[in-house]
Amino acid sequence: MCGFANAQGGKIYIGMNDDGKGVGVEESKKLLEDISNKKVNSLGIVADVNLHIMLSD
């Protein structure tokens, strides 16, 4: 996250395997809250954290 903050931003995808396929995340709402809190409290970074739901074909 610090690298993105020091550059021009970017996206971090959580819950994807090395092939780019969605594998899911347990307790995604809690994870969103934890990431938001940790980036502000530990790093002092204010940025959007969003949940994107991938639908299978």
The total of other beta-carbon atoms located within 10 Å of residue 23's CB is: 10
pTM for this prediction: 0.59
With CA atoms as reference, report the closest residue to 52 among 30, 26, 22: 22
What integer pLDDT is reported at residue 57 of this predicted model? 55
| pLDDT interval class at 30 (50, 70, 90) | very high
